[in-house]
Each structure stands twice: as C-alpha cells, then as structure tokens.
Amino acid sequence: MNLPRSLRGRLILSHLTVVVVATVVLVVASRMLAESFFRSHLHDMAGMMDAVGGMDEAMMRGQMGLSLESIEESFRSSLTSAFALAVLAGIVTAVGAAVIASERIVRPIHAVRNAARRLAAGHYRERVPTPGTEELAGLAHDVNRLAAKLEATEQRRIELISEVAHELRTPVATIRGYMEGLLDGVFEPTPEVFAAASREASRLERLTADLSELSRAEEGAIRLRRRPVDLDDLVTEVVERWRPRFDAKAIRLTIEATGGISVVGDPDRLTQVITNLMSNALRYTDEGGEVAVSVTADGAEAVVTVSDDGKGLSSEELDQVFERFYRADPAVSGGTGIGLTIARDLARLHGGDLTASSPGPGLGATFTLRLPLARP
C-alpha cells in the first residue's frame, strides 16, 4: 500500500483508520451480543405471559415463536440500517475533523517553509509567527534565530565592504599621489618617498592577506606543517615582540610561563593565533591598563590565556565575538573583525579551541587557547 507523501494526507489517513477500526469493532461486537441479549429478554417476556394468560400452552408458544422470529428479523434489519448510518456519519465527521486538524498542523509548517525560501532568496528580515504547538513553536524559534543571525552577518558584511573600500581607497590614493608626484617632478625620488609608498603598499597587502586567510580557513584549505613546538618559548617570543607597542600606550604587560609545555603544531600558525590575541588586547585596553599572558597545563591540554582590564564584553557580544566581520566596538580603529575568526579556526585545526569570557562591559575580557599537549 502506497501511503500519501504529504503530511496532511497521512494525518487524514490516520484519522480515518482509527474511525474505521473502531466502527468495525463496534459493529461486530454489537451483532454478536445484541441478538443474544434481545432473545433473552423476549423469552423472559414470554414466561411472564405464560404465567398470567389463559391460553393453551402449545398455542401460546406457537404464537410467541412466530412473534419472536418476526421481531428478531426486524431487530437485525433495524440494527444493520442504524449501524450503516452510524458508520457513514462517523466517516463524514472523521474526514471533517481530520481536515481541520491537519490544516492547523500543516499551516505553520508551510509558514516555516515559505520563510526558509525567502531567507534563501536573501530576505533576511523574514520571521515566522510562533504557533501554539510546542514542537512547531520550537521549530519556528530556531528558524527565526537563524534569520536573525543571517541578518546580522549580512549587515556586518555590508559594513565590512564599506570599511574595506575605505581602507583600500586610502593607500591606493596615497600611492597614486606619490607616483604622479614623481612623474610630474613634484617629488624627488628620495628614499623617504619610496618608504612612504612602501608602507601604503604593506597596508594593502595586509588587508588582502586577511581576507584571503579567512576564506581559506572557512574552506578548510589551510595545511598545517606540524612539528613539536615549545609553547612557552613561542608565546614569550610573541609577547616580547609586542611589548614596545604596549609600552607606547602605557599598558602594563606581564607573562607567566611555567616551562616545559610542548604541543605538536604549526609554529607559524600558532604564532598567528597569539599575535591576533595580543593585537585584540592592545586595541581594546585603555591607556594605563594591564594585560596578563599565561601558559599553563590543564590535564592533557596546554592553556594559553590573554587577559585584559579593558572594555569587556556583554553576554550577547560573547556569542558574536568570533563571528566573521564582528567588532565589539566599531569606534575602535584598526582591524577588520576577522582576526579572531581566523584564530579560532586555526586553533580548531590543531585539535583545540579558542574561547572568550568576560565579567561584563568595562570589566575586561579573557581569551583562552586550549591545545592538546604533545605526547611524551
């Protein structure tokens, strides 16, 4: 038997199946029991007439026999007709109830389906009304949450395009100005002019490299060159490289490394992760603040933490801080909102993870990198 493919059809069929089974059981049971009960009652009535009547016994029982046969036949006929009408009424009622019930169930599903189609078409502001059924309400909530995330991502993408265009326009205009000045004889071809043009070219290179790195990380196209890495030395080297920038901003930078902590990974990629964390801490820590870096072991994992007492993060921002193009404070200059995304992807490629925690806005934040320890 081929079942209907639609949910509505299956719901209607299930309702009808229940009604038909119940009706058949009712008919069979009634036919089996009703006639026996009816015959018993008629014999009781015949006994009562025999006790009070003045007829000859044989004559009375003959008449009662004819009467019993006629009444039983009428009873069977009436019972069959009544049950036929009852079955018809039950089926009609079941069909109506099944159509109404299935429509109430299927309508929210169609709403979710239509919303999903509009989301796929790029209408990220689409939302699904919440139905009364608990399971369908949960489905609608998940779709709405997905839509909200897509809308937020799209908004950040639009903002990033604007920012990237601005970032590209500035160095390109500067390089073009230097080149035209050199061609027109406005600038002398001195090392200072070439150095300024080179700095602008480096800005372009850094921006395009970040965008390319993000694309490769999300596609899983990055290949790691794994080897044993002394994590204490690697982190210390990165911290010392960044210390002059922290000193220039009057930010106290400390590092605590227990020593002897090794992992197996790509040293260049791990350096990139720590560099992103240091850059993030420098950007969001105010002048006169403090940043603490530590390298420890926790069971079978190496743990690197970068803690600051800067701007901090709200619970909502903690959920978004690793999303691409997201920046907790767009007013803070520098960065494109993809450094932490790349850093987390690299951590996960190493079999670890990168997480963030914060007591709240204005109370600082801690970024924790966990990596599997190298086996002895």
Rounded CA gap, 323 and 345, in Å?
A: 11
274 exposure class (CB count in 10 Å sphere: 0-12, 13-18, 19+): buried
Q: Of how many residues is the chain composed?
A: 376
Residue (of 260, 204, 195) closest to 232 by Cα position: 260
- DSSP 8-state secondary structure symbol assigned to residue 253: E
Q: pLDDT value at position 3? A: 53
CB 16 within 8 A of CB 31: no
Domain with CATH 1.10.287.130 in the chain: 134-219
CB 290 within 8 A of CB 365: no
Establish how many alpha carbons lie within 13 A of residue 291's alpha carbon, considering only the half-sphere containing its beta carbon.
Answer: 29
Strand ranges for 237-330 from DSSP E: 252-257, 262-265, 290-298, 301-308
Give the tens place of pLDDT for each residue, 34-48: 666 666 655 665 665
Structure tokens at 135: 């399971």
What residue type is assigned to position 236 of the chain? T
Give the tens place of pLDDT for each residue, 108-163: 788 888 888 888 888 878 888 877 667 777 888 888 888 888 888 787 777 767 76
CB 313 within 8 A of CB 321: yes
Give the tens place of pLDDT for each residue, 196-235: 778 778 777 777 777 777 667 666 667 888 999 999 999 9
Rounded CA gap, 345 and 350, in Å?
A: 9
If you average pLDDT over residues 339-361, what whole number do you get? 88
Domain with CATH 3.30.565.10 in the chain: 227-372
Q: Choose the weakest-confidence range: 95-109, 186-200, 323-337, 345-359.
A: 323-337
Sign of CA dihedral 318, 324, 330, 335: positive
pLDDT band at 252 (very low <50, low <70, confident <90, very high): very high
| CATH T-level fold of 227-372 | Heat Shock Protein 90 (3.30.565)
- Return the top range by mean pLDDT from 329-333, 355-359, 366-370: 366-370
pLDDT exceeds cutoff 70 at 237: yes
Residue (of 351, 303, 345) closest to 322 by Cα position: 345
CB 111 within 8 A of CB 139: no
Rounded CA gap, 141 and 128, in Å?
A: 8
Give the tens place of pLDDT for each residue, 16-35: 777 776 677 666 666 666 66
Give the tens place of pLDDT for each residue, 255-303: 988 778 899 999 999 999 999 899 888 988 888 899 999 999 988 999 9
Q: pLDDT value at position 51? A: 59
pTM comes to: 0.52
Structure tokens at 104: 């109430």
CB 235 within 8 A of CB 274: yes
The DSSP-derived string for 212-231 is: HHHHHHHHT------EEEEH
pLDDT band at 92 (very low <50, low <70, confident <90, very high): confident
Domain covering 134-219 in this structure, CATH number: 1.10.287.130
Q: pLDDT value at position 306? A: 93
Q: pLDDT value at position 40? A: 63
Give the tens place of pLDDT for each residue, 64-78: 454 556 666 666 666
Query: What are 337-340's contacts with CB under 8 Å, separation 24+?
Result: 337/156, 337/160, 338/210, 338/211, 338/213, 338/214, 339/210, 339/276, 339/279, 339/280, 340/276, 340/280, 340/367
